[in-house]
Amino acid sequence: MKYFIACLAALLAFLPSAQAQYIGFVYPAGGQQGTTFRVTLGGQKLEECNSAFVSGTGVKSRLEEYNKKMNAQEIQVLNEQLKELKDFPPEKKDQAITNLTARIEKLVRDNITQPACASIANLAIVEVTIAPDAKPGLREIRLGTTRGVSNPLVFNVGQVPEFSKPPMATCQLVTLGKEEQSLRKKQRESAKQGDSEMTMTSKMMMGSAGAQSEMDDDEVCVKIPCVMNGQTAQGAVDRYRFEARKGQRLVITVQARELIPFVADAVPGWFQPVIVLCDAKGKELAYNDDYRFKPDPVVLFEVPANGEYLLAIYDAIFRGREDFVYRITIGELPFVTSIFPMGGRNGTETTVEIKGWNLGETRITPDTRNLLPGIYPITAKGKNGLISNRIPFALDNLPECQEKEPNSTAKTAQKVTLPVIVNGHIDKPGRKDVFQFEAHAGDEVVAEVYARRLDSPLDSVLKITDAAGKILAFNDDREDPAAGINTHHADSYIRTTLSANGTYYVYLDDAQHRGGEEYGYRLRISAPQPDFTLRVVPSYVNIRSNSTALLSVYAFRQDGFTNAIKFALKGNTNEFSVSDSLTGTQQIAKVSVRTRLAETKEPVNLIIEGSATNGTHKIVHEAVPAEDRMQAFLWRHLVPAEELKAFVFNPPPPPKPEPKKEEPKKEEPKKPEQKKQP
> Among 128, 159, 190, where does a domain finish?
159
Find the CATH number of the domain harbouring 493. Answer: 2.60.120.380
Same domain, yes or no: 146 and 23: yes
Same domain, yes or no: 514 and 555: no
Q: Do 533 and 558 meet the contact criterion of CB atoms below 8 Å apart?
A: yes
Q: Phi then psi for 532, rounded to 5 degrees?
A: -155, 160
Domain count, the chain: 5
Give the chain's count of helices (H) and strands (E).
4, 47
Same domain, yes or no: 548 and 621: yes
Question: Pairing mode, if any, of strands 400-402 and 420-425?
Answer: parallel
Q: Do 562 and 613 meet the contact criterion of CB atoms below 8 Å apart?
A: no
What angle is formed at CA 147 by the lines to CA 141 and CA 152, rounded to 5 degrees? 20
Domain span at residue 95? 2-159
**pLDDT digits over 586-617, tens only?**
999 999 999 999 999 999 999 999 999 988 88
Q: What's the length of the chain?
A: 678
pLDDT of residue 3: 38
Closest by Cα among 365, 364, 299, 379 to 136: 379
Q: Do 242 and 309 meet the contact criterion of CB atoms below 8 Å apart?
A: yes
Q: Do 37 and 31 meet the contact criterion of CB atoms below 8 Å apart?
A: yes
The answer as to whether 662 is a domain residue is: no
Most confident region among 180-194, 202-216, 409-423 by mean pLDDT: 409-423
Same domain, yes or no: 575 and 602: yes
pLDDT band at 99 (very low <50, low <70, confident <90, very high): confident
Q: Residues 6 or more apart from 89 whose CB is under 8 A from it?
A: none
pLDDT at 9 over 50: no
What percentage of the chain carries pLDDT values higher than 70? 87
pLDDT of residue 669: 62
Specify the range with the lowest mean pLDDT, choosing from 10-14, 53-57, 181-185, 504-508: 10-14
pLDDT at 324 over 60: yes
pLDDT at 668 over 80: no
Same domain, yes or no: 259 and 387: no
Same domain, yes or no: 516 and 573: no
Same domain, yes or no: 553 and 521: no
DSSP string over 633-661: TTEEEEEE-S-EEEEEE-PPPPPPPPPPP
Q: How far apart are CA 537 and CA 152, in angstroms?
A: 12
The answer as to whether 630 is a domain residue is: yes
The answer as to whether 665 is a domain residue is: no
Q: Do 320 and 273 meet the contact criterion of CB atoms below 8 Å apart?
A: no
Q: How far apart are CA 596 and CA 576, in angstroms?
A: 7
Question: Pairing mode, if any, of strands 30-32 and 153-158?
Answer: parallel
Q: Residues 6 or more apart from 425 whose CB is under 8 A from it?
A: 340, 403, 456, 458, 515, 516, 517, 518, 519, 520, 521
Same domain, yes or no: 457 and 595: no
pLDDT at 76 over 70: yes
Beta-bridge partners for 242: 309
Q: How far apart are CA 445 and CA 502, in angstroms?
A: 13
Bond into 399 cis (ω within 30)? no
Specify the range with the lowest mean pLDDT, choosing from 71-80, 173-182, 437-446, 621-630: 173-182
What pTM did the predictor assign? Answer: 0.86
Specify the range with the lowest mean pLDDT, choosing from 99-113, 293-307, 353-367, 654-668: 654-668
pLDDT at 240 over 80: yes
The answer as to whether 338 is a domain residue is: no
pLDDT of residue 194: 36
The answer as to whether 485 is a domain residue is: yes
pLDDT at 301 over 80: yes
The residue type at 180: E
> Among 135, 159, 183, where does a domain finish?
159
What SS3 string covers 514-564? Answer: CCCCCCEEEEEEECCCCEEEEEEECCEEEEECCCEEEEEEEEEEECCCCCC
Question: Pairing mode, if any, of strands 531-537 and 617-631?
Answer: parallel
pLDDT of residue 576: 93
Tell me the Cα Rg of the chain.
31
Compute the Cα dihedral for 197, 200, 205, 211 and give only its sign.
Answer: positive
Q: How far apart are CA 206 and CA 631, in angstroms?
A: 33
pLDDT at 8 over 80: no
Q: What are the helix (H) ranges across 165-230? A: 200-206
Find the CATH number of the domain harbouring 114. Answer: 2.60.40.10
Surface-to-core class of residue 170, CB atoms within 10 Å of its CB (0-12 exposed, 13-18 middle, 19+ buried): buried
DSSP string over 243-287: EE-TT-EEEEEEESTTTS---TTSTTTS--EEEEEEETT--EEEE
> Among 159, 180, 212, where does a domain finish?
159
pLDDT at 189 over 50: no
Q: Do 521 and 676 meet the contact criterion of CB atoms below 8 Å apart?
A: no
Find the CATH number of the domain harbouring 627. Answer: 2.60.40.60
pLDDT of residue 173: 81
> Which helix (DSSP H) or strand (DSSP E) does residue 131 occupy?
none
The answer as to whether 678 is a domain residue is: no
pLDDT of residue 209: 31
Same domain, yes or no: 188 and 311: yes
pLDDT of residue 176: 67
**Helix, strand, or coil (residue 91):** helix
The answer as to whether 15 is a domain residue is: yes
Half-sphere exposure of 596 (CA within 13 A, CB side): 5
Same domain, yes or no: 301 and 445: no
> Which helix (DSSP H) or strand (DSSP E) does residue 582 occupy?
strand 581-582
The answer as to whether 350 is a domain residue is: yes
**Helix, strand, or coil (residue 354):** strand
Q: Do 287 and 301 meet the contact criterion of CB atoms below 8 Å apart?
A: no
Q: What is the mean pLDDT of residues 420-436?
A: 96
From residue 267, how far is each of 196, 318, 543 by CA, in Å?
35, 12, 35
**pLDDT digits over 468-500, tens only?**
999 999 999 999 988 888 878 999 999 999 999
Kindly report the number of other CB atoms within 10 A of residue 92's CB atom. Answer: 8
Q: What is the mean pLDDT of residues 34-63?
A: 95
Q: Phi then psi for 380, rounded to 5 degrees?
A: -125, 160
Specify the range with the lowest mean pLDDT, choosing from 20-34, 85-99, 233-247, 404-418: 85-99
Closest by Cα among 556, 551, 594 to 575: 594
Average pLDDT, the chain: 87
The conformation of residue 170, written as its DSSP 8-state character, comes to P
Kindly report the number of other CB atoms within 10 A of residue 607's CB atom. Answer: 16
Q: How far apart are CA 561 and CA 568, in angstroms?
A: 20
Q: Residues 6 or more apart from 152 whose CB is under 8 A from it?
A: 55, 140, 141, 142, 539, 540, 627, 641, 642, 643
pLDDT band at 182 (very low <50, low <70, confident <90, very high): low
Same domain, yes or no: 312 and 358: no
Same domain, yes or no: 10 and 69: yes
